[in-house]
Amino acid sequence: MRIDILTIFPDLLASPLEESILKRAQESGALEVAAHNIRDFAVDKHSMTDDRPFGGGEGMVMKPEPIVAALQHVDNLHPGGFVVQMTPQGRLYNQNVAQEYAKKDHIILLCGRYEGIDQRVSAYVDDEISIGDFILTGGELAALIVVDSITRLLPDVLGCEDSVDNDTFSRGLLKHPQYTRPRSFAGVDVPDVLLSGDHKKIEEWRLLESVKRTIERRPELLKEVTFSKKEKKLLASSGIAGQLTLLDTKI
Segment 194-248, tens digit of pLDDT: 999 999 999 999 999 999 999 999 999 998 899 999 999 999 999 998 888 877 6
Is residue 219 part of the annotated active site? The answer reads no
Instruction: With a cut of 60, say whether residue 166 has pLDDT above it.
Output: no
Which of these is catalytic: 40, 75, 115, 148?
115
Average pLDDT rounded to a whole number, residues 171-192: 94
The percent of residues above 70 in pLDDT, for the chain, comes to 94
Is residue 65 part of the annotated active site? The answer reads no
Mean pLDDT of the chain: 93
Instruction: With a cut of 90, say whether residue 160 has pLDDT above it.
Output: no
13, 15, 20, 21: CA torsion to nearest 10 = 20
Average pLDDT rounded to a whole number, residues 29-38: 98
Average pLDDT rounded to a whole number, residues 133-161: 93
pLDDT at 45: 87
pLDDT at 244: 85
pLDDT at 168: 61
Is residue 115 part of the annotated active site? The answer reads yes
Which of these is catalytic: 2, 39, 152, 218?
152
Which of these is catalytic: 88, 177, 213, 218?
88
Is residue 40 part of the annotated active site? The answer reads no
pLDDT at 143: 98
